[in-house]
Structure 1
Amino acid sequence: MSDASALRKVMAPTGVLRATINVGNPVLAGLDVEHQPFGVSVDLATLIAHRLEVELELQVVASAGEAVDVVSREEADMGFFALDPRRGESIEFTAPYVFIEGCYLVREDSPITAQEEVDRLGQRIVVGKGSAYDLYLSRTIEQAELVRAPTSPKVVAFFREHQLDIAAGVKQQLEVGIEEFGGMRLLPGHFMTIQQAMGVPKGRSPEAAAFLSAFIEEVKAQGEVARLLEKHGIKGASVAPSA
């Protein structure tokens, strides 16, 4: 068996590369007018399938939590995720390829003006269930209450509907909510840097993770990740440095 055949066997054991695409993160993917997925993660998955010389099957999900579950159960061969220790229990990650800011949003008339004023008794922060910032804030928030919206894209609407104090999420997603609804503002700065990486099920052969790790370092170094961010008009995200 050739090295290429062996690699295809561990990366795409069904003969097709099954990749999860989370359209709940607008930095990485979305749906076009015909409800077809597009974006940075779609283009990277396409490049990987081409490299392996296999067909690509995109498994579109609405949230990061769903993507993690699908790959953890080995119902998909790889996915695109934010790094998190809890997720690392079932997924083998590459180094990050993109950095995204996690920010807070409040109403325009809110007395909250700074990051330091968020974690206080009596205040409620809405997060997308199972998102990277949900996992992070679950570990770090000590006094405020976390309230979970079904998915990240629904955070701003959930925040408004339930009259909550603070919404947490990907900066670009919160900005879309401000543009759509008005009457809200971002707090200055960010509470975390979300490190976006790729991953395979933990039980896969080490060669699978090694292949993805080498691939992502190559496309970062060649400027391909930067080109894809520009192609899709992504602002406020940066290419991660070489591992």
Structure 2
Amino acid sequence: MRRARHHVHRRGGRRRPAGPRRRCPRARLRIVTATPGALRELSPTGSLRVALNLSNAALVRRTADGDLDGLAPDLARALAARLGVPVAFVAYPSGGAILADLGAGAWDAAFLPVDPARGDRLIFSRPFAEVEATFAARPDCPLRHAGDADRAGVTIATARGAAYELHLARTYTRAVLVSHETPAAALYAVRAGACDLAAGTRVSLEKAALTAPPLRVLDGAFLTVPQAIAVPRGHREAAAFLSEAVTASGGTCRRDAV
């Protein structure tokens, strides 16, 4: 099976196809100073607690020795160093799980897709990257392009609370959306024949498609999702610092996260 080429590119940068894995410099921030208010909002416990969505393979992955690697952990470590505090990662199985924990005070900042519908609960930094969202299907599925998915009789498995689920719910009028607790559960529904398609980020779907039973990732994308750092609404000094830091970083470096 030919492996599709995916794209993860920095905000404002030239779009480049992913090639063979290569080393990339760790995220570095030019001198950006946090105000006392931003420091209090970002590290009320003395460390920067960062929520990461493990289902977004474009930004984060767990290494063989259990460490977290990728664009998001790199940038989080650089931010913590700039604040002068240690970083503590809080891993979640989905973006929806991060949002569900918002009121518990378990994290100070979260790497999440930008979605206007979440503006009543979160403030987003300037986006630092963009990720494509598309669909995975069983090999015998007649659909070939993501743009063909919104048709009568098509069932699409989604992860509850994901930015792409919210987008599909707002824009798709003919296909039926079936919400699942996690992206893994959505993929299982397709493999089991309960749904025709599973929505997700291209990088994550291409990684999942390689495991048995294999899946096929559709051509094209139904959404390009800006990725940013979110803080609880009301933490305006923290949000201003994060936006300034992302701007100073030049959008961070590009990583091959497959």
Report TM bin, short chain: 0.7 to 0.9
The answer to whether structure 1 residue 114 and structure 2 residue 149 are counterparts is no
Sequence identity (%): 31
The answer to whether structure 1 residue 64 and structure 2 residue 95 are counterparts is yes
Residue segments in structure 1 that go unaligned for 5+ positions in a row? 236-243
Equivalent residues in 2 for 1:1-243, closer than 5 Å: 4-181=35-212, 183-204=214-235, 206-220=236-250, 225-226=252-253, 229-230=254-255, 233-234=256-257
Spell out, residue by residue over 1:14-55, the C-alpha distance to the aligned partner (whole angstroms, 9 max, x if none). Answer: 222111111111111122223332222111111111101012
Tell me if the contact between 1:71 and 1:91 (Cα under 8 Å) persists in the aligned partners.
Answer: no
Structure 1 length normalisation: TM-score?
0.85
Q: 1:37–1:74: structure 2 CA closer, same or farther, 3 Å change rule?
A: same
TM-superposed CA distance for 1:114, in Å, is 3.2
Spell out, residue by residue over 1:113-171, the C-alpha distance to the aligned partner (whole angstroms, 9 max, x if none). Answer: 33343112221001112111111111111111111232124432231124321121111
Pairs aligned (count): 226
Q: Give the Cα–Cα distance (whole angstroms) in 2 for the partners of residues 42 and 153 of structure 1.
A: 22
Tell me if the contact between 1:4 and 1:52 (Cα under 8 Å) persists in the aligned partners.
Answer: no
- Greater per-residue helix proportion: 1
Spell out, residue by residue over 1:61-105, the C-alpha distance to the aligned partner (whole angstroms, 9 max, x if none). Answer: 111111223345443111100011222210100121111111122
Classify the secondary structure of the residue corresponding to 2:250: helix
Q: What amino acid does structure 2 have at the position aligned with 1:185?
A: R
> How well do the aligned residues superpose, as a CA RMSD in angstroms?
2.1
More relative contact order, 1 or 2 (CA 8 Å, 6+ apart):
2
TM-superposed CA distance for 1:194, in Å, is 1.0
Q: What amino acid does structure 2 have at the position aligned with 1:172?
A: V
Q: Give the Cα–Cα distance (whole angstroms) in 2 for the partners of residues 200 and 116 of structure 1.
A: 33
Structure 2 length normalisation: TM-score?
0.80
Tell me if the contact between 1:99 and 1:195 (Cα under 8 Å) persists in the aligned partners.
Answer: yes
Tell me if the contact between 1:25 and 1:152 (Cα under 8 Å) persists in the aligned partners.
Answer: no
Classify the secondary structure of the residue corresponding to 1:143: coil
Equivalent residue, structure 1, for 2:3: none
Tell me if the contact between 2:160 and 2:179 (Cα under 8 Å) persists in the aligned partners.
Answer: yes
